[in-house]
């Protein structure tokens, strides 16, 4: 049998199960109202199929669970740190590792180390926590992603690419010395999990380094990006995920990474770099904000699980199945005419909320409303990626209004089966047939930072 023909066959068998709670629509209506129509504020036990995020929600392997029992919980010099360091070098190739409790801890370390107040930080579309840390450090984010990324229906296979003309314009207008670094997310979350090509990384690296500008990789889903390069870019079909990943990182100077995604772990992350002085600075900061430089806010057992998960994620068949699950759900929705971001991305499927609910204006938080309605309809939890996530301009106070207004159906790794995705698809298709009943929301509570996590809303009747 040629297993390449059957990518949806899970490359694992189920060893333990967690019961799911079945609720009524009336129950869910009350639950979402009490949660302020914010899916982040729902109780997990009230959710049937949880596609809120792939961050820390994955199922670990038996090898990772075995590693948990080998946790060295020494305060300093844990052997698990050195296992993690070895795995990071094998997969990514950076010289220095600085562990952190999760990705945003690493983002804080890099931002505080590399940004001087008033400097610009170009990037291929913002990510919420990344931009927040950059701005808290005094940086000014500038979006230099290609225009295709803002068009949900453009079929460009690498919609995460940097527009080199935009990047060059920033350099000329602002001056290279006023640019802290360029950050490259692989894949680009808010664009729909869209990848960056190797050729684009190569060209960005050349332009940046010729102008004395460092390149920082957001490597949170870098294995997924490596897979897309393997299947979509000429010259990489015969290369392994690990080989592609090492080449990607070779064009960069530093990285931030959440271990809660590709590595299948529930907690953990790291910053990495090649510059010794940057590493010294970040290690001095990690002691203040995270923990000693040999654990960075993690238990030894968590570092061991992350090291093993990192090596697993570099296996081609693991990543092929991971992307195949997203593709399966994407195909079902696409066949039914549901407006979704094209092409299929890595970590989930993104529904175009503006097109799904055309009568609800963006100012009435259309994606937030759709996410709430989907939960009420079927118990499926998704999340908003639009005006709520974009937040407000730090100077003017005006709401950012991104062109993309989506809900994200995020696929946790090794958690759900094809039957679950059938239910998700059927629910969305049925909800779409009732779209004329849609109502928007008004915000009744807004936190100062990262409001999408805690904001509360009420229905506009």
Can you tell me the distance from the alpha carbon of 279 to that of 86, in angstroms, rounded to the nearest whole number? Answer: 16
Q: Is-catalytic flag, 141?
A: no
Q: Which of these is catalytic: 54, 218, 253, 373?
A: 218
Residue tagged active-site, from 28, 261, 283, 381: 261
User: Among this protein's residues, is 75 annotated catalytic?
Assistant: yes
Three-class secondary structure of residue 372 per DSSP: helix
DSSP state of 145: B
- Expressed in angstroms, the distance from the first to the final Cα of the chain is 57
Catalytic status, residue 128: yes
Distance CA 397, CA 392 (A): 5
DSSP string of 285-340?
HHHHHT--TTTTT--HHHHHHHHHHHHHHTSHHHHHHHHHHHHHHHHHHHHTT--B
> From the candidates 3, 12, 75, 445, which is the catalytic residue?
75
Give me the residue label for tokens 């994200």: 408
Secondary structure of the chain: what % helix, strand, coil (to 5)? 45, 15, 40
Q: Which residues are CB-neighbours of 412 under 8 A, at least 6 positions away? A: 50, 51, 53, 54, 57, 58, 59
For residue 185, give the 3-state DSSP assignment.
strand
Task: Give the Cα separation of 411 and 220 in Å (integer).
Answer: 15
385 is catalytic: yes
Phi-psi region of 178 (alpha: psi -120 to 50; beta: other; left: phi over 0): alpha
Residue identified by tokens 């996530």 is 389
In DSSP terms, 120 is beta-bridged to: 140, 179
127 is catalytic: yes
C-alpha 249/C-alpha 229 separation (Å) is 13
Question: Strands 214-218 and 406-410, how do they pair?
Answer: unpaired
Is 5 an annotated catalytic residue? no
Told to judge if 396 belongs to the known catalytic residues of this protein, a careful annotator would answer no
Rounded Cα distance, 26 and 104, in Å: 37
Q: Which of 39, 53, 57, 128 is catalytic?
A: 128
- State the catalytic residues: 75, 127-128, 218, 261, 385, 452
């Amino acid at each position: 049998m040629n297993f390449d023909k059957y990518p949806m066959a899970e490359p694992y068998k189920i060893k333990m199960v967690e019961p799911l709670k079945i609720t009524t629509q009336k129950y869910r209506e009350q639950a979402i109202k009490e949660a302020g129509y914010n899916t982040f504020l729902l109780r997990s036990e009230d959710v049937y199929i949880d596609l809120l995020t792939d961050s820390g929600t994955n199922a670990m392997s038996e090898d990772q669970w075995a590693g948990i029992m080998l946790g060295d919980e020494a305060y300093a010099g844990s052997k698990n740190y050195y296992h993690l360091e070895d795995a990071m070098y094998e997969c990514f190739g950076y010289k220095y590792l600085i562990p952190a409790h999760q990705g945003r801890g690493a983002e804080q370390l890099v931002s505080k180390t590399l940004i001087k107040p008033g400097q610009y930080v170009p990037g291929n579309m913002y990510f919420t926590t990344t931009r927040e840390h950059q701005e808290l450090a005094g940086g000014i984010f500038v979006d230099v992603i290609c225009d295709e990324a803002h068009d949900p229906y453009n079929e460009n296979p690498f919609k995460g690419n940097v527009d080199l003309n935009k990047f060059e314009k920033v350099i000329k207008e602002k001056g290279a010395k006023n640019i802290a670094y360029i950050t490259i997310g692989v894949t680009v979350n808010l664009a729909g999990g869209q990848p960056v090509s190797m050729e684009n990384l190569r060209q960005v690296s050349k332009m940046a380094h010729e102008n004395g500008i460092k390149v920082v990789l957001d490597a949170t889903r870098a294995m997924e990006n490596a897979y897309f390069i393997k299947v979509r870019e000429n010259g990489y079909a015969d290369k392994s995920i690990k080989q592609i990943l090492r080449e990607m990182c070779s064009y960069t100077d530093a990285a931030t990474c959440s271990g809660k995604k590709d590595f299948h772990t529930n907690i953990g992350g790291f910053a990495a770099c090649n510059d010794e002085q940057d590493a010294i600075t970040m290690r001095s900061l990690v002691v203040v904000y995270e923990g000693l430089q040999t654990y960075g806010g993690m238990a030894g057992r968590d570092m061991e699980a992350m090291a093993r998960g990192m090596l697993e994620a570099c296996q081609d068949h693991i990543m092929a199945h991971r992307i195949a699950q997203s593709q399966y759900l994407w195909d079902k929705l696409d066949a039914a005419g549901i407006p979704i971001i094209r092409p299929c991305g890595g970590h989930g499927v993104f529904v175009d909320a503006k097109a799904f609910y055309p009568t609800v204006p963006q100012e009435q938080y259309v994606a937030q409303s759709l996410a709430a309605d989907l939960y009420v309809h079927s118990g499926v939890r998704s999340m908003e990626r639009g005006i709520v996530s974009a937040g407000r301009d730090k100077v003017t106070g005006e709401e950012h209004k991104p062109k993309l207004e989506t809900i994200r159906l995020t696929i946790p790794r090794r958690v759900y089966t094809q039957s679950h995705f059938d239910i998700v698809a059927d629910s969305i298709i049925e909800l779409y047939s009732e779209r004329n009943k849609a109502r928007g929301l008004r915000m009744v509570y807004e936190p100062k930072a990262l409001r999408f996590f805690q904001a509360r809303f009420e229905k506009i009747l």
